[in-house]
Chain A
Amino acid sequence: MSIVEKFLNMEYGPALEDPKEALAWLDRHARRFGHFIRGAWQQPDAGEYFDSTDPSTGEPLAKIAQGSASDVDSAVKAARAALGPWQALTPHARARYLYAIARLCQKHSRRLAVLETLDNGKPIRESRDIDIPLVIRHFYHHAGWAQLVEKEFPGHTACGVVGQVIPWNFPLLMLAWKIAPALAAGNTVVLKPAEFTSITALAFAEICQEAGLPAGVVNIVTGDGRTGEALVDHPDVDKIAFTGSTEVGRIIRKATAASHKKLSLELGGKSPFLIFDDADLDSAVEGLVDGIWFNQGQVCCAGSRLLMQESIAEKLTAKIRARMESLRIGTPLDKAIDIGAIVAPVQLDRIRRLVDQGVAEGATCSQPATKLPGKGLYYPPTLLTNVHPTSTVAQEEIFGPVLAAMTFRTLREAVELANNTVYGLAASVWSENINVALQVAAQIKAGVVWVNCTNMFDASTGFGGYRESGYGREGGREGMFEYLEPAWFKNAPRLKASKPASAQEHTDDDAGMPAIDRTVKLYIGGKQARPDSGYSFPVYGADGTLLDEAPLGNRKDIRNAVEAARKAEGWGKAAAHNRAQVLYYIGENLSQRAAEISARLARVTDEKQAEEEVRLSIERAFAYAAWADKFDGAVHNPPMRNVTLAMNEPVGTLGIVCPEEAPLLGFLSLVLPAIAMGNTVIAIPSETYPLIIGDLYQVFDTSDLPGGVVNIVSGRAAELMKVVAEHDDLDGIWCFKDESAGATVKALSIGNLKQVWTNEGRAIDWFDAAQSEGRWFLQHAVQVKNIWVPYGE
């Protein structure tokens, strides 16, 4: 075709990135990779390899080692051996290594980008302009945390050996999100990349060598799900960090339940993309391009659920359809391509199946006339309208370039629809009215909310979800906490397994006036409630005497308590100042009743402990009253014109299984920070002295604590905590009992993947405020929501 013809056509023509250098790099490795263990390449023990292919052509790129349990074991041993020397380095020395890694990623940026595109199928524009620059930024940013870790996180220590399992959608970026904070905090790492996309992780291994990173600090073991399983199950791993599907997240939660592995999960999403009638519609449509047609829609936080105000729906969908026509689909190495290849046949099948199902359920499917390339794995950008909340495509994560559109009438309905999902990863809100945008942002249950923008990421800003989108944050200060633990806690002694109190021979030597019978009841919705069972159970004193009978709560009482707690959620929206007032009042009323509470408590503990518990409880009430309006969020500074508000939001409704060892102080040390941050609570008091309910509800009732904010159900803790752990309408469970209790609640929490926090079977000194009061508790009582607000006029 002559230049004249091209002049007349004004087509783009091909603009291919030359993969020569990247392919030469693969050739230098003879297109065959072992694991990266102890700073060197190590062939797999079983000698098994599999192909990694280019999804745009089906051509194999390289042979990748299939990791076995023994390969994983070798890597974990290497990481364990490297841990001591790595931690012995100064923070500055660790910062130098991270800085060197950042520099080297920059130096090899194009090779990394091309390898990523070859292996994953994403457009070179994205790997070049988004993935790799974010990788570099992540290491720079965390070189900073490495430098500052001792000063900024005093009293904390690294988790130890961290096992990390990452997905195929942003292979190197997810590696950076995992490795950078882990190393900055002083951990050593065994990372398993996704089997479809291992190559850039292996290129990164070479960068670690080039940076002179001490052997064993970073180990990379490749392989499929079995390799990941071996890593998750390895007994000498201290923490697991996983990004991937909710389904696998559940499996990992269960598999690690009986261990003390710290766990962070970044899972799936079905993120709402809300467009109000006063939005800049053309910009919102571009937002969708960046939201659902970025990386072929294979993005956990993709804006896959479009919610549009009814009045603009027709106009907007016309604009979306027109925009889809101009998206260019084709070979990912073409620099002028918007949509590349789907990572693997299995994923393409999933997309097709779900779209077919959507259409079968009544959705109208719009796709552009654009022709797909003849070979390779491609799927066109797709808009599904006539979709309802009941539709499969509105509920299930498709993980493809498919947008499911629905309408709303009012702001209230928009929020209701947005939150009508088991996920809570991200949301995008489009309105030119800041009141509307921030009101919606505040009400959406999601870890990230983008106002008039979408899919913005930065190392300074935490990323992670609510609900079944997982827990923990990656990026920023909040992300660093995932790789740190309070130093005292890591070394705390094991708690002895608790024995239920039992009847002893006793004599009733009180021959005087009979006491007035005092019936302690459950406390639900601000009211004393008789247990559903109609049974009570005996409570014995330290000397074995029968003190009284406590109500025997059952699953129905827990159900009622959860309902009451949900209804009381307005507490979380109340001004922190008001919550502080209530907490002070609790302290005041405890003080008024100190003598009687202490006297009763002394029957199961002893006088000294009872007095101390009451005294410290009053102090604790004051401490959390003080904290209530001071545990602030932050404003992050990503490198763009924007404020990112990191807001501390309450986790929601929490089940709290209280410790045995300090019936009053242990209870309040957990419940007070939870309610200070705006959570509502279902507490299971110690079995040793459940009668404390009687004192607590009198204190709460006289302290203006709204009904339902704290609900107390006594009974057989081992049974009740199972009901709590399994309850799908609870957002979290804290369990501070013995080791087996912790394992039980972790395993049972997987129904809705509620956040779990336990003492890992360790003893906490409730009488030492350094351990039992403060930020550590508050951090667990909140989840960070990052609201991105670009500005400019």
Chain B
Amino acid sequence: MWPIRKSVWRHRTARGTHGAEHRGGEHRDEDHRAEQHHAEPGLDAGAAYAYLAGRALLPNRGLPLNLDQVEDIQVNTSAAERRAATLVTRRTVKKEWQAAWLLRAITCMDLTTLSGDDTAARVQRLCAKARQPLQHHLVEALGIESLNLKVGAVCVYHVFVETAVRALEGSGIHVAAVSTGFPAGLSPLAEQVAEIRRSVEAGADEIDVVITRAHVFGGQWQALYDEVAGFKQACGPAHLKVILGTGDLTTLRNVARASMVAMMAGADFIKTSTGKESVNATLPVGLVMTRAIREYAEQTGMAVGFKPAGGIRTAKQSMDWLALMKEELGPSWMQPSLFRFGASGMLADIERQLEHFATGRYSAEYRHPIA
């Protein structure tokens, strides 16, 4: 259907554009391994970027804005809320499966520090945790040494990109930079674009940008499209993660329409929140965004990733979100290439749950090294 051999992303890392080559190489291995089990018969296993219901998908290259399609989108709030509420009661994972899911959640985490008082030392500490999210004794107890477990990425402000790149060298862990006047996203466009370029040059693999929410309120879809397309162009080979600020958008229909426009404009990921809004990632918002991703994939054959961020703190929540991805999109979206958590605090709870699984005793937060 789409005879692609390798993802755009891997081409970039293979060229060694901005990071150590073996970093990209490691990622490729992990992706390959994870894809094998759900590769469809008759398809070249590991060749496709992702699968949706058996169909091989390409990474997103964007599309011209199709306003009719955007405006046709309908979301019924009560029904979406009901689905989100019952989805997590319809699915549960227990015992070793739960341990496996929690480990998967760790690999999908963007460990993040975005505070005004961040320092280089703080970022280095975070990177150390990113490399070794679980204590050795736990890794051994779970028998998962071969997984070489690490988080998906470390997410920092531009000024700490180089610090993070250095601290993560050789780990294969991506560095993500928040950009475009995060979290308001209201600095002049030229500055936003320049900021993205600077972060990419400094070695960021991923750029998390914030859209101008006013474009959504006003239904100025062309303006939103142009904005995101501009960001995408500035990103060059880096992955663009577009934050919709869903807590500000007020309606699920706005969320769905903004998701679709961002994808048409070339977003590699769509992301719920900056973590700074009063309402962050909720399951109904996640449901609506994943459905938009599905619709886009069905229509275009291109896969866009999803990142819920903010307000996700517990191991239970991580499994709910993974179940949402499995149910609405399928296993390709349970991997770091297409799914990330913007949730740092969640790691501590996952560690405690895994400790409980391994030892049968409930653990305390202070017994696990902090990020």
Contacts and interface: CB of A to CB of B under 8 A. Distances in A.
Contact of B77 (A10, A125, A278, A793): A793
A4 B144 contact: yes
Contacts of B146: 4
B228 interface: no
Contacts of B29: none
Given A15-B92, A322-B53, A336-B91, A793 B74 contact: no
A453 B143 contact: no
B94 A13 contact: yes
Given A12-B93, A13-B94, A335-B92, A6 B100 contact: yes
B34 interface: yes
B76 A280 contact: yes
Contact of A286 (B79, B142, B331, B334): B79
Interface in A1-27: 1-4, 6-15
B53 A453 contact: no
B144 A283 contact: no
A790 B34 CA distance: 41
Given A6-B96, A8-B37, A453 B79 contact: yes
Contacts of B79: 280, 283-284, 286-287, 452-453, 790
A129 B87 CA distance: 12
A324 to B, nearest CB: 11
Interface in A268-298: 278-284, 286-287, 290
A792 B96 contact: no
Nearest to B34: A8
A336 B143 contact: no
Contacts of A278: 74
A326 interface: yes
B82 A453 contact: yes
Interface in A319-356: 322, 325-326, 335-336, 338
B367 interface: no
B82 A10 contact: no
Contacts of B94: 13-15
A326 B86 CA distance: 15
Contacts of B291: 282
B97 A283 contact: no
Contacts of B74: 278-281, 432
Determine which residue in A11, A282, A642, A790 has the highest number of CB atoms from chain B within 10 A of its CB, and name it: A282
Nearest to B330: A326
B104 interface: yes
A9 B95 CA distance: 15
Nearest to A322: B53
A12 B80 contact: no
Given A8-B33, A13-B93, A452 B78 contact: yes
Nearest to A287: B79
A2 B143 contact: yes
A10 B80 contact: no
A202 B247 CA distance: 50
A322 B328 CA distance: 10
Interface in A299-327: 322, 325-326
Contact of A3 (B37, B142, B334): B142
A7 B107 CA distance: 11
A641 interface: yes
Interface string A183-212: 000000000000000000000000000000
B89 A125 contact: yes
B89 to A, nearest CB: 6
A125 B99 contact: no
A611 B253 CA distance: 68
B90 A125 contact: yes
B78 A129 contact: no
Contacts of B37: 8-9
B83 A286 contact: yes
Interface in A437-478: 452-453
A319 B83 CA distance: 15
B137 to A, nearest CB: 15
Nearest to A790: B78
A278 B253 CA distance: 13
Interface string A764-793: 000000000000000000000000001111
A13 B97 contact: yes
B75 interface: yes
A7 B53 contact: no
Nearest to B294: A282
B107 to A, nearest CB: 9
Contacts of A452: 76, 78-79
Contact of B99 (A3, A14, A326, A791): A3
A4 B326 CA distance: 18
Contacts of B103: 3, 7
A284 B80 CA distance: 10
A325 B327 CA distance: 10
Determine which residue in B33, B74, B99, B291 has the highest number of CB atoms from chain A within 10 A of its CB, and name it: B74
Contacts of A642: 78
Contacts of B80: 280, 283
B251 interface: yes
Contacts of B40: none
A654 B291 CA distance: 49
Interface in B163-191: none
Nearest to B290: A282
A91 to B, nearest CB: 36
15 contacts: A7-B100, A7-B104, A7-B144, A10-B334, A12-B92, A13-B94, A13-B97, A14-B94, A15-B92, A279-B76, A280-B74, A283-B79, A286-B79, A287-B79, A792-B77
Given A1-B96, A290-B86, A791-B78, 19 more contacts: A2-B143, A3-B100, A4-B146, A7-B147, A12-B91, A13-B94, A13-B95, A15-B94, A280-B75, A281-B74, A283-B80, A283-B83, A287-B79, A325-B53, A452-B76, A452-B79, A453-B79, A642-B78, A790-B79
Q: Which 10 A-B pairs have the closest CB atoms?
A: A13-B97, A283-B79, A6-B100, A790-B78, A280-B76, A7-B100, A280-B74, A792-B77, A15-B94, A286-B83
